[in-house]
């Protein structure tokens, strides 16, 4: 993960929104960076570079990333609700700042939501246990298109490429 390369892709408004988010929640910045690094490491370990595409591996990565941010930030705040709110805000910011099409964005938001749910249901489990749960969910990830009603599959990971 090259933070400088990612930062260069941002428009000024995206940088401004990120700065405001980070300054308002400064204690969550370092754990979010660590969660992101861990997520990329685990995703690459299990899926090589496939997690950069829009398939099952990408669904895994987004859910894991969201889960890890909430998990790591909870250690700092001791308040899971604050950590979850930060997690939603920072992952939503990411999807808008690095938008890559309506369907991919729909998929990413949904899979981020799965990560939120995983954290709420498995907050006290180890990261390794949650990775195993997520690996099983990844095998059952569903292919979607723009017409797919994601509300009917709220507990499943989704992908847009086979």
| Residue whose C-alpha is closest to residue 74's, from 22, 25, 112 | 25
Q: Per the domain annotation, does 10 fall within a domain?
A: no
Q: Per the domain annotation, does 107 fall within a domain?
A: yes
* CA–CA gap between residue 99 and residue 85 (Å, rounded): 21
The structural domain count of the chain equals 1
Q: Per the domain annotation, does 5 fall within a domain?
A: no
Pick the range with the lowest mean pLDDT from 7-21, 73-87, 96-110.
7-21
Structural domain of 49: 19-159
Q: Per the domain annotation, does 44 fall within a domain?
A: yes
Pick the range with the lowest mean pLDDT from 53-57, 77-81, 113-117, 120-124.
77-81
Q: Is 151 exposed, middle or buried (0-12, 13-18, 19+ CB in 10 A)?
A: exposed
Convert the pLDDT of each residue in 24-75 to its tens digit: 999 999 999 999 999 999 999 999 989 988 999 999 999 999 999 999 999 9
Q: Per the domain annotation, does 141 fall within a domain?
A: yes
Q: Cα 14 vs. chain centroid, distance in angstroms? A: 18
Tokens representing 77 are 């705040």
For the cut 90, the answer to whether the pLDDT of residue 8 exceeds it is no
Burial 111-130 (b: 16+ CB within 10 A, else e): bbbbbbebbeebeeeebeeb
Q: Per the domain annotation, does 88 fall within a domain?
A: yes
Q: Per the domain annotation, does 12 fall within a domain?
A: no
């Amino acid at each position: 993960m090259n933070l400088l390369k990612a930062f260069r892709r941002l428009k000024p408004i995206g940088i401004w929104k990120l700065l405001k988010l980070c300054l308002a929640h400064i204690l969550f910045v370092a754990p979010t960076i660590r969660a992101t690094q861990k997520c990329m490491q685990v995703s690459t370990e299990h899926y090589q570079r496939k997690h950069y595409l829009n398939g099952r591996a990408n669904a895994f990565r987004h859910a894991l990333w969201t889960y890890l941010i909430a998990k790591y930030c909870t250690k700092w705040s001791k308040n899971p609700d604050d950590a979850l709110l930060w997690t939603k805000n920072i992952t939503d910011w990411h999807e808008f700042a690095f938008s890559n099409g309506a369907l991919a964005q729909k998929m990413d938001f949904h899979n981020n939501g799965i990560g939120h749910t995983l954290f709420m249901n498995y907050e006290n489990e180890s990261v390794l246990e949650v990775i195993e749960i997520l690996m099983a969910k990844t095998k059952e990830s569903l292919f979607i298109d723009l017409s797919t009603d994601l509300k009917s599959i709220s507990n499943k990971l989704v992908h847009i490429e086979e």
